[in-house]
Amino acid sequence: PENVGIIAMEVYFPYNCVNQEKLEEFDGVSKGKYTIGLGQRNMGFCGDREDINSLSLTVVHKLMENNSINPDDIGRLEVGTETLIDKSKSVKSVLMQLFEESGNTNIEGVDTTNACYGGTQALFNAVSWIESSAWDGRLAIVVAADIAVYAAGSARSTGGAGAVAMLVGPGAPLVMERGMRSIHMQHAYDFYKPNMSSEYPVVDGKLSVRCYFHALDQCYSRYTEKGRQLDNKTLFTLEDIDYAMFHTPFCRIVQKSLARLMFHDFLCDPECDSSDGEKYADLAKFRNVKLEETFQDEAKGREIEKASMKCSQKVYDKKTEPSLCISRDVGNMYTPSLYGCLASLLFSESIEDLAGKRLMLFSYGSGLASAMFSFRISDDIGSSSPLHALVTSLKDIPARLESRRQVEPGEFLKTLTTREHTHNKNNYSPTCSEEELFPGTYYLTNVDEKFRRTYQRK
Ligand code: ACO
């Protein structure tokens, strides 16, 4: 099969959100910490009516409905998530309810977990299946979904929630570029969830940011090496990429990431001082620095970060900023975060600007697993083209973000407390109102004495 990649996408985020400026005031932190320091505007969150199963049911049902997908045409379905409510039964098995009526039980795939990375592995699995001898000609659906909540403290404002579903197959408008994939995996205790009775992770925030940047360095170094081979050139830099997207725990880290890649480009190009001095003028005095020094010497690291951000501002505005709409307004959705960035780019840019472009994506999941890979966008932009259909289907997202209900921080806190008390409970019926859900949302109606969950669709 040729041109395997993403054919259609669906994005879901919760109806309720809390404003970060109000949260700064409520938490008693300095004004600007969450909004400027982290770059966030609003944060989506779920009440006790929603869990990982309901989010996934909602997004897959919508993907199938909006794209008139025949259930019999699906041969693989996988879920990437770190929101576990069962240590054995997969979310995928719950989603099989959506195929019951059609009688199609012949669907491969189960769940994949490693922090925010599971969705990416699920996507790779789906693409591999289609390119393999096991493929039977049908399409795959990949789901990334999570509810990201933190205990009270400095991490809480970097929560979020949401789900992305992607239809994967041949002849796609977003083609996963063969050969352009690099991986970095390592053991780290930067963020993990050892406490089965709590939704909250144990997190070492500073370490997680360091691990994220280290993984970024490793992936980019390997990715550019592959780019040099594939494009047959001596230098492969941000200029060879049209758009750069990153897993987004908060928007500010993404701007820093793009800046870091530019610093990497600068270090790899000793010739540039004479040939193209202008381009890296802000960085010239760091010519003899090694990338690792940014970790070893904090003051120097900050100085380089500042200079790189200045140097890369224009590139950031053009190649990365358009991908941050959902992240800024919903927060870190965990596994769907990167795919929310992809969707944001597709509805923010014009189809003419997108046509034929190369997208670079960086996926990071604590613990840790990371990858950098690319898509090529089709250059067929006709009104009946698959790209046109994909882009058009995402255009309602800004209006949906706007139409959410903004909740006071006090109510947000109360909702989190409810979730704490009801997490893992049996013999339980949720108390949050069904009113506070978008139409078409699945919601939990009951957990019986044997922990079996039932759902309804609004
Ligand atoms: N105005 C403007 N900026 C401000 C203000 C203010 N009033 N106050 C603080 N800031 C800036 C800080 O200078 C800092 O920016 P800098 O790093 O560029 O200097 C930023 O806001 C954050 O402030 P910190 O004091 O560093 O924040 P804190 O340490 O309290 O928390 C952290 C930040 C560690 C990211 C925390 O939110 C966290 O643990 N989050 C969860 C973990 C996470 O998301 N890790 C990322 C990768 S792993 C993953 O995806 C889960």
**Angstrom distance (rounded) from CA 318 to CA 345:** 11
Query: DSSP per residue over 309-349, as a string?
Result: HHHHHHHHHHHTGGG-HHHHHH---STTHHHHHHHHHHHHS
CA 37 to ligand 1 centroid distance, Å? 6
What pLDDT digit, counting tens, does each position of 170-207 carry? 999 999 999 999 999 999 999 999 999 999 999 999 99
* pLDDT band, residue 275 (cuts 50/70/90): low
Q: Is 247 a catalytic residue?
A: yes
Inform me whether the pLDDT recorded for 67 exceeds 70: yes
* pLDDT band, residue 162 (cuts 50/70/90): very high
What pLDDT digit, counting tens, does each position of 99-127 carry? 999 999 999 999 999 999 999 999 999 99
Peptide bond before 235: cis, by omega within 30 degrees of 0? Answer: no
Q: Cα dihedral angle (91, 112, 193, 11), rounded to 10 degrees? A: -60
Inform me whether the pLDDT recorded for 276 exceeds 80: no
Beta bridge partners, 361, equal 245, 373
Alpha-helical (H) ranges within 180-250 are 205-231
Residues 6+ apart with CB under 8 A from 414: none
Mean pLDDT, residues 137-156 taken together: 98
**Of 340, 354, 348, nearest to 388 (Cα)?**
354
To test ligand 1's pocket by mutation, which of 27, 30, 154 has the most ligand atoms within 8 angstroms of CB? 154
Kindly report which listed range (214-228, 268-282, 288-302, 428-442) carries the lowest average pLDDT score.
268-282
Residues 6+ apart with CB under 8 A from 424: 85, 196, 197
Supply the pLDDT for residue 270.
80
CB 436 within 8 A of CB 16: yes
209 lines ligand 1 (CB under 6 A): yes
Residues 6+ apart with CB under 8 A from 55: 12, 46, 145, 146, 147, 161, 162, 163, 442
Question: Which token pair is 375?
Answer: 């898509």
Catalytic residue among 46, 116, 272, 311: 116
Supply the pLDDT for residue 252.
98
CA Rg, the chain, in Å? 22
Supply the pLDDT for residue 437.
97
151 lines ligand 1 (CB under 6 A): no
**Angstrom distance (rounded) from CA 53 to CA 79:** 10
Supply the pLDDT for residue 175.
98
Kind of pairing between the strands at 369-377 and 358-365 = antiparallel
The closest-lying atom of ligand 1 relative to the alpha carbon of residue 253 is: 46
What pLDDT digit, counting tens, does each position of 336-357 carry? 999 999 999 999 999 999 999 9
- What count of Cα atoms within 13 Å lies in the side-chain half-sphere of residue 295? 13
Q: Which residue reads 């960086």 in tokens? A: 362
**Angstrom distance (rounded) from CA 13 to CA 163:** 6
**Angstrom distance (rounded) from CA 144 to CA 334:** 8
Residue 96 is classified by DSSP as G
CA 47 to ligand 1 centroid distance, Å? 26
The phi, psi pair for 186, rounded to 5°, reads: -160, 155
To test ligand 1's pocket by mutation, which of 43, 209, 305, 363 has the most ligand atoms within 8 angstroms of CB? 209
Supply the pLDDT for residue 278.
80
Output the CA–CA distances (angstroms, integers) from residue 161 to 55, 111, 371, 397, in the order listed. 9, 18, 22, 15
**Of 165, 210, 222, nearest to 371 (Cα)?**
222
Supply the pLDDT for residue 421.
94
pLDDT > 90: what percent of the chain? 96
409 lines ligand 1 (CB under 6 A): no
CA 335 to chain CA centroid, nearest Å:
5
**Of 435, 440, 436, nearest to 458 (Cα)?**
440
Inform me whether the pLDDT recorded for 274 exceeds 70: no
**pTM over cut 0.95:** yes
Q: Kindly provide the residue ranges of all beta strands, DSSP E only, lying in 333-429, ordered along the sequence.
A: 358-365, 369-377, 405-407
Mean pLDDT, residues 137-146 taken together: 98
Average model confidence (pLDDT) for the chain?
96
CB 244 within 8 A of CB 259: no
**Angstrom distance (rounded) from CA 149 to CA 160:** 7
362 lines ligand 1 (CB under 6 A): no
Residues 6+ apart with CB under 8 A from 444: 48, 49, 50, 51, 53, 54, 430, 453, 454, 455
Ligand 1: which residue has its CA nearest to atom 50?
A: 249
Q: What is the ipTM of this complex?
A: 0.98
CB 368 within 8 A of CB 186: yes
Mean pLDDT, residues 158-179 taken together: 98
Inform me whether the pLDDT recorded for 273 exceeds 70: no
202 lines ligand 1 (CB under 6 A): no
